[in-house]
Amino acid sequence: MARLLFIVKDVYRVERQGVQILSSVVKKNGHKCSAIVGRGQTYAKLFTLIKNFKPDFIGYSAMTSEEDFCLELNSRLKKELNYISIFGGPHFTFFPEEINNPDIDFICRGEGEGAITEVLNVFDRGESLEKIKNLTFKKNGNIINNPLRPLILDLDAIPFVDREIFKEKIVDIKSGHLRAVFCGRGCPFNCSYCFNHQYHKMYQELGKTLRWRTPNNIITELKYLKNDLNTQFIHFCDDTLTSAPIIWLEELMDKYKQYIKLPFLCLTRPDLITEEKIRLLSNAGFHSVMVGIECADEVVSKIILKRGDIVNQDIKNAIALFHKYKIKIHTENMIGLPVRKPLIDAFKTIALNIECKPTYAHFSILYPYPGTEIKKYCIEKGFLKDGRSIKSITSKSRTTLDFSPDLARKISNLHKLAGITVRFPVIMPLTKLLIKFPYNRVYEYIFYLVLAYNWGRYIFNYPINFQLIIKGIREVKNYLKNDWCLQYR
Ligand code: B12
Ligand code: SF4
């Protein structure tokens, strides 16, 4: 029986299903597994926890922006403890060049279930790990990228996620309010700023990337969440739930209505919305939606963002339907795009949102993540002049593209004020003035408080009370400190 300890930088407010699934899988195979969250802990405390677990393996899981925390911690631990380090998750999948770090033993690219099980089984037998598919490692000064194993086509064969492993860490799990559930994996689209087009290429000959669990399998898990864990709200995390075949959706929603009937949130795109689908979802408990508007300039949307054939009229139609069925609407939008006049595009997107009147308009700054087409585009067009890799950007704060300092400041400021401007369009002239001021923490507070309030009150359906508001303010304060990496220095 091998001992595997996962470490993640943070669990935020939602679950970390990647790690939780791997935990279920390895436990089912008879191994010992636990997980530690780095955020808010000192190195001394982490070290004691890790040492006491006596791991054979430490598995780090990271998205881009979390990797430096993992790398830094691992390098320190390697000086004091004897274990094998294995890194996985989207950052290491799309940036396996990290293997050059001397303290990384293995990187797991892509889906981890098969690889991690084999790693632990092979280790138990005392054999070499070097033949295991999906692994990247160094040997005699060379980097070896083993081939990928095929994608898991039968998602029902994966055990349900381990809901215990982060139980004490995630606010929503403790309160019993919210649980995340995946109905499937993959997305059929190829937006240039997202990981999916890269994933499609990686797995081109290794199986269909878009896959769905059977409705029965999902409902069995949901019954457990509702009846045994007292869950009150379901967050369907699939990239685009409404891209599923209508017959499948019908079966899932019929059963959901019959057995679960909890309010739920799902994610979608405007061009995947029909009245038939909304009615179906709405009868079952559809409470809120996250839907991508992203950019109101149709040419930029099609050519640079590769959003497909979505036009502004599709967006207006989809949002009008959500309004008709009284669904709370969170729109996703991007600013700081690699175009000649990014502020003009940003204001167009704000105007489209004002017209659509979503419950909450969320704005992100574009970050060209490793392996994405938009990153190549930014380099080619001179928006990332030194072609550097975008690593450890503290997400959601400032643009990392090579705009002039004046423009960069205005973009970063507008990002913080755009959501509230959509909500109260009358402040538009003030917003235009405020973005000229130096970058400051007040705007960040405004951004996160508006986000936390809207998510809590409308999107995740929390019963709002005074205590929750105080807790929210504290969380925003802690989040903004963003210093849990620095504690190690
Ligand atoms: C839910 C979610 C979140 C949640 C939870 C995060 C999480 N990682 O669980 C929250 C809301 C916190 C979040 C935040 C962000 N997210 Co997010 N998120 C997702 C989403 C929709 C699902 C993640 C998930 O659970 N997937 C399902 C599981 C099963 O897959 P998985 O995590 O990849 O794990 C598998 C493998 O990677 C591997 N694996 C994972 N870890 C490990 C570890 C080891 C040791 C091994 C062997 C294998 C292994 O095995 C797992 C099972 O097969 C994905 C998109 C997607 N469909 O995956 C984006 C995604 C992960 N997010 C992404 C990004 C960019 C972000 C943000 C940085 C965005 C931003 N700018 O704010 C922030 C970062 C946090 C912050 N600083 O605020 C990108 C990451 C790209 C990248 N290069 O890293 C993704 C891929 C979306 C995208 N459009 O490209 N996110
Ligand atoms: S629709 Fe969403 S999840 Fe799918 S490729 Fe585009 S951005 Fe990614």
Q: Domain spans of the chain?
A: 3-145, 176-486
- CA-nearest residue for atom 63, ligand 1, is 63
Structure confidence at residue 386 (pLDDT): 67
Q: How much distance in Å is there from the Cα of 273 to the middle of ligand 2?
A: 15
Q: Residue 482 — very low, low, confident or very high, per pLDDT cuts 50/70/90?
A: low
Q: Residue 15 — very low, low, confident or very high, per pLDDT cuts 50/70/90?
A: confident
Structure confidence at residue 487 (pLDDT): 36
- CA-nearest residue for atom 1, ligand 1, is 237
Q: Is 194 in the pocket of ligand 2 (CB under 6 A)?
A: yes
Q: Is 234 in the pocket of ligand 1 (CB under 6 A)?
A: no
**Ligand 2 atom closest to Cα of 188?**
4
Ligand nearest to the CA of 482: 1
A 10 A CB-CB count for 334 gives 23
Mean pLDDT value of segment 326-334: 97
Q: Which one, of 135, 136, 118, lies nearest residue 127 by Cα?
A: 118
CATH superfamily membership of 176-486: Aldolase class I (3.20.20.70)
Residues 6+ apart with CB under 8 A from 305: 191, 192, 193, 294, 295, 334, 337, 374
Residues 6+ apart with CB under 8 A from 434: 413, 417, 443
User: Does the fold of domain 176-486 match that of domain 3-145?
Assistant: no
Residues 6+ apart with CB under 8 A from 157: none
Structure confidence at residue 392 (pLDDT): 46
Q: How much distance in Å is there from the Cα of 64 to the middle of ligand 1?
A: 9
Ligand nearest to the CA of 183: 1
Which range, of 50-64, 78-92, 403-417, 444-458, averages the lowest pLDDT? Answer: 444-458
Cα 7 to the center of its chain, rounded Å: 17
Percent of the chain with pLDDT over 70: 93
Q: Is 237 in the pocket of ligand 1 (CB under 6 A)?
A: yes
**Ligand 1 atom closest to Cα of 66?**
77
Beta bridge partners of residue 136, listed in sequence order: 107, 145
Instruction: Kindly state the tokens that stand for 217.
Output: 């399998």
Mean pLDDT value of segment 158-166: 93
A 10 A CB-CB count for 329 gives 21
Using the predicted structure, report yes or no on whether residue 452 has a pLDDT greater than 90. no
Ligand nearest to the CA of 112: 1
Residues 6+ apart with CB under 8 A from 442: none
Q: Is 448 in the pocket of ligand 1 (CB under 6 A)?
A: no
Structure confidence at residue 461 (pLDDT): 85
Mean pLDDT value of segment 452-467: 82
Which range, of 53-62, 246-255, 352-361, 452-461, averages the lowest pLDDT? Answer: 452-461
Give 207-232 pLDDT, tens digit per residue.
899 999 999 999 999 999 999 999 99
**Ligand 1 atom closest to Cα of 394?**
77
Ligand nearest to the CA of 243: 2
Q: Is 87 in the pocket of ligand 2 (CB under 6 A)?
A: no
CB distance 80 to 47 below 8 Å: yes
CATH number of 3-145: 3.40.50.280
Structure confidence at residue 385 (pLDDT): 78
Using the predicted structure, report yes or no on whether residue 170 has a pLDDT greater than 80. no
What pairing do the DSSP bridges indicate for beta strands 142-145 and 135-139? antiparallel
What pairing do the DSSP bridges indicate for beta strands 286-294 and 328-335? parallel
Using the predicted structure, report yes or no on whether residue 315 has a pLDDT greater than 50. yes
Instruction: Kindly state the tokens that stand for 171.
Output: 């606010």
Q: How much distance in Å is there from the Cα of 238 to the middle of ligand 2?
A: 10
Using the predicted structure, report yes or no on whether residue 394 has a pLDDT greater than 60. no
Using the predicted structure, report yes or no on whether residue 69 has a pLDDT greater than 50. yes
Q: Is 2 in the pocket of ligand 2 (CB under 6 A)?
A: no
**Ligand 1 atom closest to Cα of 65?**
68
Question: End-to-end alpha-carbon separation of the chain, Å?
Answer: 35
Spell out a b/e string for 277-291, using b for 16 or more CB atoms within 10 Å of the CB, else e. Answer: bbebbbebbbbbbbb
Structure confidence at residue 479 (pLDDT): 64
Using the predicted structure, report yes or no on whether residue 331 has a pLDDT greater than 60. yes
Give 114-144 pLDDT, tens digit per residue.
999 999 999 999 999 999 999 999 999 999 9
Between 68 and 257, the higher pLDDT residue: 257
Q: Is 269 in the pocket of ligand 2 (CB under 6 A)?
A: yes
DSSP letter for each residue of 97-148: GGGGSTT--EEE-S--HHHHHHHHHHHHTT--STT-TTEEEEETTEEEEPPP
**Ligand 2 atom closest to Cα of 307?**
6
Q: Residue 422 — very low, low, confident or very high, per pLDDT cuts 50/70/90?
A: very high
- The pTM assigned to this predicted structure is 0.94
Q: How much distance in Å is there from the Cα of 434 to the middle of ligand 2?
A: 32
Give 269-297 pLDDT, tens digit per residue.
999 999 999 999 999 999 999 999 999 99
Mean pLDDT value of segment 375-388: 84
Q: Is 69 in the pocket of ligand 1 (CB under 6 A)?
A: no
Q: Which one, of 329, 328, 336, 331, lies nearest residue 362 by Cα?
A: 331
Give 177-206 pLDDT, tens digit per residue.
889 999 999 999 999 999 999 999 999 989
- CA-nearest residue for atom 2, ligand 2, is 239
Mean pLDDT for all residues in the chain: 92
Which range, of 92-106, 201-215, 384-398, averages the lowest pLDDT? Answer: 384-398
